[in-house]
Chain A
Amino acid sequence: MVRTLSIVVWLLLIILPIGSGVLFLLLSSFHPQTVVNSAALVNLLSEYESIVGSFMLAVVAPLGACYLALWMAPGLLQRPRLQQLLSPLLSIPHVSFAVGLMLLMSPSGWLIRLVDSVSGLFPSPPAGWPLPEKSLVTVMVVLVLKELPFLLLMISAQLKQLPVSSWLTQAQSCGYSERQAWWRIVAPELLRRLTLPMAAVIIYSLSVVDIPLLVGSNTQALLAQRVYEWTFQFSTDSQVKSITGAWVLLAMAFVLLLINTRHAAMYRCLVLCKKVNTRSAWWNSNKASQYVWALLGILALAIIVILALQSLASHWFYPTLWPASLSLERWQTEGPYLAEPASYSFWLALTSALFGTLAAIVLLQRQRQKAANAFYWPVLIALFIPQVPLILGWQFVLREPLSDGWQIGWVLWSHAVYTLPYSYLVLYGAYVRFDQQWLTRAQSLGYSAREAWWRIMLPMLKQPIAVAFAVAFAVSIAQYLPTQWLGQGLTPTLTTEAVSVASGGDWRIGSLYALLQMLLPLVVFVAIGLIRTQSYAEHS
Chain B
Amino acid sequence: MLNIRNLNIGTLSDSAMTPLLSVEELTINKGEIVTLMGPSGVGKSTLLRWVLGESLPYFCIEGELTLNGKNIGDLSIAKRQLGMMFQKGGLFPHLTVKENCLFAQKARSVLPVKQQKGKASTMLKKLGLWEKWSVYPDSLSGGQYARIALICSLLAEPQAMLLDEPFSALDANLREEVRQWAFAQLQEKEIPTLLVTHDRADACGRILKLEQGEIQQEVANV
Contacts and interface: CB of A to CB of B under 8 A. Distances in A.
Nearest to B86: A437
B137 interface: yes
A445 B108 CA distance: 7
Nearest to B152: A445
B137 A446 contact: no
B93 A443 contact: no
B41 interface: no
B103 interface: yes
B94 A460 contact: yes
- Between A371, A442, A462, the greatest number of chain B beta carbons within 10 A of the residue's beta carbon is seen for A442
B138 A539 contact: yes
Interface string B76-108: 111111111010111011110000000110011
Contacts of B94: 459-460, 462, 533-536, 539
Interface in A451-470: 451, 455-456, 459-460, 462
Contacts of A460: 92-94
Contacts of A539: 93-94, 137-138
Contacts, number: 75
B9 to A, nearest CB: 18
Given A445-B107, A535-B94, A437 B76 contact: no
B103 A444 contact: no
B116 to A, nearest CB: 13
A456 B94 CA distance: 8
B54 A440 contact: yes
Contacts of B21: none
Nearest to A463: B94
B176 to A, nearest CB: 25
Report whether over half of chain A's contact residues are helix, strand or loop; otherwise say mixed: helix
Interface string A418-439: 0000000000000000011110
B78 A448 contact: yes
Contacts of B37: none
Contacts of A451: 107
For B79, B92, B156, the residue with the greatest tally of chain A CB atoms inside 10 Å of its CB is: B92
A371 B76 contact: no
Given A446-B78, A446-B156, A438 B103 contact: no
B73 to A, nearest CB: 16
B84 A440 contact: yes
Nearest to B83: A444
Secondary structure class of chain B's binding surface, majority of residues: loop
B88 A445 contact: no
B76 A534 contact: no
Contacts of A371: 57
B130 interface: no
B59 interface: no
Contacts of B76: 443, 448-449
Contacts of A435: 88-89
Contact of A437 (B82, B89, B103): B89
A447 interface: yes
Contacts of A3: none
A428 to B, nearest CB: 20
B5 to A, nearest CB: 22
B83 to A, nearest CB: 6
Interface in B34-89: 52-54, 57, 76-84, 86, 88-89
Contacts of B86: 437, 441
B133 interface: no
A442 B82 CA distance: 11
Given A444-B82, A444-B158, A456-B92, 10 more contacts: A443-B76, A444-B80, A445-B78, A445-B156, A451-B107, A459-B94, A460-B93, A462-B94, A535-B94, A539-B94
16 contacts: A371-B57, A437-B86, A440-B54, A440-B84, A441-B89, A442-B92, A443-B76, A443-B78, A444-B83, A444-B158, A445-B156, A448-B76, A451-B107, A534-B136, A539-B94, A540-B93
